[in-house]
Amino acid sequence: MAHTSSRTTIIFIVVALVCAFVPAFSVEEAEAKSLWDTCLLKISPKCALDIIGVVFENLTITDACCHDLVQEGKMCHDTLIKYIAEKPHLVAHETEYLTKSDALWTHCVSISQTA
């Protein structure tokens, strides 16, 4: 099971890197890439991977990463998750991922408010 989880994590890292460096072909995608580049500066790579893991793999997130996520902002969070979820091999479950993304945001806001 751990091997499968590691392999899945590696796949998502590759997807994230590809999404970050693929040239944009439309205005909408160019805007998403610009926001992607801006938002990635606000959060550590480890937390970014943890967030992706929560939304796309049912993993957990630390309180510290929740604080980083809230600092990143809702617009950044929503845009980055939607950007990944719209990829052809993931789009069939986009609604599920966006629901998980909203639940993660709500959880992290509640964690941040109690600190």
Indicate the average pLDDT of the chain: 78
What do you get for the CA distance between the two ends of the chain, in Å? 34
Q: What is the pLDDT of residue 76?
A: 86
9, 55 Cβ separation under 8 angstroms: no
Q: Strand, helix or coil at 60?
A: coil
Which residue matches tokens 């998980």? 100
Q: Looking at residue 18, what is its pLDDT?
A: 45
State the pLDDT confidence band at 6, using cuts at 50, 70 and 90.
low
CA 20 from chain centre, in angstroms, equals 12
For residue 57, which of 35, 90, 87, 92 has the smallest C-alpha distance?
90
**What is residue 65's predicted lDDT score, i.e. its pLDDT?**
94
Model confidence at 86, pLDDT cuts 50, 70, 90, reads confident
Chain centroid, CA 33 distance in Å: 13
State pLDDT tens for residues 27-79: 466 766 676 677 777 788 889 889 999 999 999 999 999 999 999 899 888 88
* Residues 6 or more apart in contact with residue 52 via CB below 8 angstroms: 12, 16, 84
- The answer, yes or no, to whether residue 5 has pLDDT greater than 50, is yes
Q: What predicted TM-score, i.e. pTM, was given to this entire model?
A: 0.70
